[in-house]
Amino acid sequence: MSTKLAAMILAGGKGTRLQALTRKIAKPAVSYGGKYRIIDFPLSNCANTGITSVGVLTQYESSELNTYVGNGEKWGLNGVRSLTSVLTPKQTEEGSAWYLGTADAITQNLDWLDRVDPEYVLILSGDHIYSCSYDEMLKTHIAKKADCTISAYPVAIEEASRFGILVADKDSNIVEFVEKPKKPTSNLASMGIYIFTYKVLRAALIQDAKDETSEHDFGKNIIPKMLNEKKRLVVYRYSGYWRDVGTVASLHQANMDLLMSGENKTNLYSVQGSNRIYSEDPFSIPQYIGKKAVVRDSLVNQGATVEGEIDHCVVSGDTLIEEGAICKNAVIMNNVIIRKGSHIENCIVGPGAGTDIGEEINVGGESIVLIANSKGRKDE
Amino acid sequence: MKDVIGLVDCHTSPSLGELTAHRTLASTSFLGRYAFIDFTLSNFCNSEIPTVGVLVKDHQRSILKHMGNMLSWVNNTKTGHVHIFYNEKGLLNPAYNSDIANIRENDWVLYDSQANYIVFASPHILLNIDLRPILEEHIARKEECTLVYQEREDCLTSFLGGDIIHLDEEGYVKKMEKNDGSKKKAKVSLEIIIVNRTLLAELTRRHQMVDASWGVRELLPYCLNNHLFRIHAHEFKGYARCFDSLKHYVDYSFELLDRNIASSLFLEERPIYTLTHDTPPALYGEESSVSNSFISNGCVIEGEVKDSIICRNVRIGRHAKVRRSIILSNVAIGDRSSLQDVVVDKYVIVTARHELKGDPSNIIYFPQGAIL
C-alpha cells in the first residue's frame, strides 16, 4: 500500500527558542532521549510504515543534518526500492531562492515528486517527537476519498492559540481551520502532518506559487484556500504521545517523559517490535557505572561513564560524570564532562559542554537552564 | 594496505566450556555489547585491510547472525569485502577440519585477489593492535613470515596450550613449543601471523603431503624444524588476553571493569566496531542501585546490580540482586531474585524470589533459554 505514498519531511527550521542548542545545528538534528536526534522519529516512522521514498527538506545550518540523513541508511531507507534524498534550496534556470515557507519548499521540489510519481504525499515535520505508523492515517484518507487529511491532537484550550486549530463535523470533515487563533473555538490542534492526494496538492501548490500575497505556508495559505474551494479535508485523530519541542523547558520535559517516573504514554521505550526508533550507532565503549556511583530514575546511553550521582537524568553517550558530581533533573547531551564535586540541577547540558570542579549551576533553581560552553570533550 | 587479506581464524578457538557448546567463541558475547570477532575485524578495519575472510570451523549460523550484512567492519562498502570461508567437507570429517583445509576449499578468494600478504588472527586472543607498522616492517625487511608475540610473566596459568617461542640473536624464531604451564616467564605467540602469498601456497601444498589434519599452528613448527623458511618475530607490548576457559572469560571480563585496564583496550584512535541493534538507552528505576558494572542498551533495571556485566535487553526486577555475574542478552530476572557468581546465557527467565548462587572460585553457568 505504502509504495503509493511518498514522504516529504520539512527540516529547515531554526528553532530559535532552543537558544544555543540550535546555534550551529538545525532543530531536527538536536539530540533527544540520550541516543536520538529529533529527526530519527519521523524517519523511523516512515521506515516502519514501509514508505520507500523520502525527501528531507533542509535549509538552516544544514551541513550536519544533511550528513546525518545521508542516504537514509541509518533507518534502512537505502534498500533497492528505496530513495532518500536531502533536498536543499538550489540554483535553477529561473534563478535561485531560499525556501520561503513550508509550501514553497515542496513547490520547489515538485520535479523530485514528479519523478517519484506517488499517488499520495505525506508532509511531515522534522522536529516532532512521536512513534507511530502512518498506515491508519492513509487508510482514513483513502476510505474518506479525501483531498487532504490532517493529523490532529487534542491540546489544552488555553494552549490552543499556539497551534493551527481545526473544527470538524461528526464525519471528521474539517469545516474550519484557523492558524494560531486568538479565540480558539476547538482544542483540536493540527500536528503539521498532512496526507495529500498528489494531483490535488500539485495543483494547489502551482496556484499558490503564482499568488504574490501568499506566505507559501501550509497552515496559513494552502489549507484555508482548499477549504474555501470546498475541497474534501478530513481530520485524523491521533491519540499517542506527541511533542513539538519548541523551548529549552519543553525539550527538557520531553526527555523527562521517557523516565520510569515520567509519562507512561511515552511508548518510545516499551515498543521494541515494529515501531522501533532507529538512530546512529557511534562506536562508543560500553556504559560503565562506577563503584561509588548512584543512578536513580534515569536513562543512560552506551558510551557514558557515571562515577558520580545522577537522579532523574537523561544521559547521552561519550559523557563522563566524575566521582562526587551530582546531577539532578538534568538532560546531559553527548561529549559532556561533569567534573568532580560539581552540582547541577534542572538543566540541559548541551553537546560538548561541562562544568568546572566544584561548580554549582542552578541548584534549587525553579526554571530550566541551558548550559552551553566548551568545557566538555573536544572531539565531536 | 590494499595488498593484504586478513583472515579471522576460528579453527584455533579453544572452548569456553558450556558457553561455547552451541556457538563459536568468535560470536560469543563479550562485555555486553560485543562479540569476540568484533575485535579481530576492527583490528583489520583500523589497519586499513580491505579484504577479510572469516575461516568458519563450525556453528556458521551463529557467526552469520552476528555478521549481519557484513558491512559493519569495512571502510569502503564497495572496495571492502568480508568473505565467509566455510568448509563443508571439513564438517563431515572433523579431524581434517583445519584452517589450511578451509583455505584450500575456498582458495578462489585468494585467486580473485591481487593481495601479496595474508594476515592470520585468532578471535580468542583479545587485543587492540595496529597491524600497519608490522606489515610495513614485514614488507621492508622482505620477510616471508612474521609472527606477533608478547613476553609475559603469567604463563603458568595463561596462554596454556598456546605457542611459546624462542628467538635467535637476529630476532627470528629458533624454536616453538606448546605452553604446558611449566614456565612463568615466556614469549607467547599472539597467533597473529603474516605470510606471503607464495608461502601460503607452499604451506597448502605441503599440508597435503605432510599431515592433512594439521592447521597453521602445527605446520609452522614443522617448517621451522625443517628449515623451510624463517619466521621473523615482532613484539606487541599492549593489552592482550587469551580466552581459553570459562574461568578466564569471567576473570578477564571483570578485569575490564577497572577503567585503567579498560583504557588500554579501548583506544580513541582505534574504536571497536560492532553490529547495531537499535536498542534504546538503559532505563533505571527509582529504586535501582548499580555500581561497578557494564550495562548495555535496552536494559531496564529496577533492582540492585554490583560488579557485574549486563548485556542488551535484560530486565532486572524490583529488589532483585545481581552480584559478580555476567548476564547475557534478553534475560528476565524476576522481583526479589538473587544472583551471585553466575553466568546466565541468553533468553533465560529467572522467576521471582529465586536464588542462583555460585562462589567466586566456582562460577555456575545457566544455559540459554532455561526457565528457573
Give the tens place of pLDDT for each residue, A293-350: 999 999 999 999 999 999 999 999 999 999 999 999 999 999 999 999 999 999 999 9
Interface contacts A/B by beta carbons within 8 Å: 105
Give residue A270's pLDDT band: very low, low, confident or very high (50, 70, 90).
Answer: low
Other C-beta atoms lying within 10 Å of the C-beta of residue B298: 24
> Nearest CB to A286: which of B33, B268, B278?
B33
B245 to chain A, any CB pair closer than 8 A? The answer is: no
Spacing of C-alpha A167 from chain mean position: 25
β-partners of residue A289 are A306, B293
Mean pLDDT computed over A223-251: 90
Tell me what pLDDT residue A303 has: 92
User: Domain B4-265 belongs to what topology?
Assistant: Spore Coat Polysaccharide Biosynthesis Protein SpsA; Chain A (3.90.550)
Whole-angstrom distance, CA of residue A215 vs CA of residue A207: 13
B112: pLDDT strictly greater than 90: no
Mean pLDDT computed over B15-41: 92
Whether B300 and B319 have beta carbons less than 8 Å apart is answered as no
Tell me what pLDDT residue B332 has: 95
Tell me what pLDDT residue B255 has: 95
Which range is least confidently modeled, A73-77, A375-379, B343-347? Answer: A375-379
Q: Could you give the percent of chain B with pLDDT greater than 90?
A: 72
Residues with Cβ within 8 Å of A145's Cβ and at least 6 positions away in sequence, in order, are A232
The domain B283-366 is placed in CATH, from the list 3.30.460.20, 2.160.10.10, 3.20.20.70, 1.10.486.10, at 2.160.10.10
Give residue B30's pLDDT band: very low, low, confident or very high (50, 70, 90).
Answer: very high
Give residue A3's pLDDT band: very low, low, confident or very high (50, 70, 90).
Answer: low
Q: Which residues of A touch B276 (CB under 8 A)?
A: 281
pLDDT digits (tens, 9 = 90+) for B65-76: 888 777 888 888
The mean pLDDT of chain A is 89
Give residue A162's pLDDT band: very low, low, confident or very high (50, 70, 90).
Answer: confident
Q: Could you give the percent of chain A with pLDDT greater than 70?
A: 96
Q: Do B298 and A272 touch (CB under 8 A)?
A: yes
Task: ipTM value, please give it.
Answer: 0.89
pLDDT digits (tens, 9 = 90+) for A70-119: 999 899 898 888 889 999 888 888 777 888 889 999 999 999 999 999 99
Which range is least confidently modeled, A10-19, B12-21, B133-142? Answer: A10-19
Delineate the domains of chain A, giving CATH numbers in brackets.
Answer: 2-256 (3.90.550.10), 288-371 (2.160.10.10)
Whether A302 and B33 have beta carbons less than 8 Å apart is answered as yes
> Nearest CB to B273: which of A283, A289, A290?
A283
* The Cα angle at residue A204 between residues A201 and A205, in degrees rounded to 5: 85
Strands of the sheet with B304-306, listed across from one edge: B289-291, B304-306, B321-323, B338-340, B355-357
B133: pLDDT strictly greater than 60: yes
Mean pLDDT computed over B309-318: 95
Whether A217 and A204 have beta carbons less than 8 Å apart is answered as no
What are phi and psi for residue B158, nearest 5 degrees? -115, 160
Whole-angstrom distance, CA of residue B333 vs CA of residue B340: 13
For an interface test with B, the pick among A275, A285, A299, A329 (most B C-beta atoms closer than 10 Å) comes out as A285
Name the grid cell of B31: 562485555
The mean pLDDT of chain B is 92
Give residue A2's pLDDT band: very low, low, confident or very high (50, 70, 90).
Answer: very low
Give residue B81's pLDDT band: very low, low, confident or very high (50, 70, 90).
Answer: confident
Give residue A148's pLDDT band: very low, low, confident or very high (50, 70, 90).
Answer: very high
Which range is least confidently modeled, B108-112, B260-264, B350-354? Answer: B108-112
A273: pLDDT strictly greater than 70: no
Which range is least confidently modeled, A10-19, A33-42, A96-105, B59-68? Answer: A10-19
Taking the CA of residue B48 and the nearest CA in chain A, the distance in Å comes to 17
Closest CA to B244 of B359, B160, B177: B160
Q: Do B31 and A281 touch (CB under 8 A)?
A: no
pLDDT digits (tens, 9 = 90+) for A195-230: 999 999 999 999 999 988 989 999 889 999 999 999
Taking the CA of residue A322 and the nearest CA in chain B, the distance in Å comes to 12
A78 to chain B, any CB pair closer than 8 A? The answer is: no
A256 to chain B, any CB pair closer than 8 A? The answer is: no
Whether B37 and B148 have beta carbons less than 8 Å apart is answered as no
* CA distances in angstroms from B301 to B275, B306, B312, B321, listed in the order given: 23, 12, 11, 10
pLDDT digits (tens, 9 = 90+) for A111-147: 999 999 999 999 999 989 998 889 999 999 999 999 9
Name the grid cell of B222: 614443522
B257 to chain A, any CB pair closer than 8 A? The answer is: yes
Q: Do B259 and A300 touch (CB under 8 A)?
A: no
Instruction: Name the residue ranges covered by the structural domains of chain B.
Output: 4-265, 283-366
Name the grid cell of B72: 559493519
Tell me how many helices (H) and strands (E) chain B has: 10, 28
Mean pLDDT computed over B98-115: 86
For an interface test with B, the pick among A77, A281, A301 (most B C-beta atoms closer than 10 Å) comes out as A281
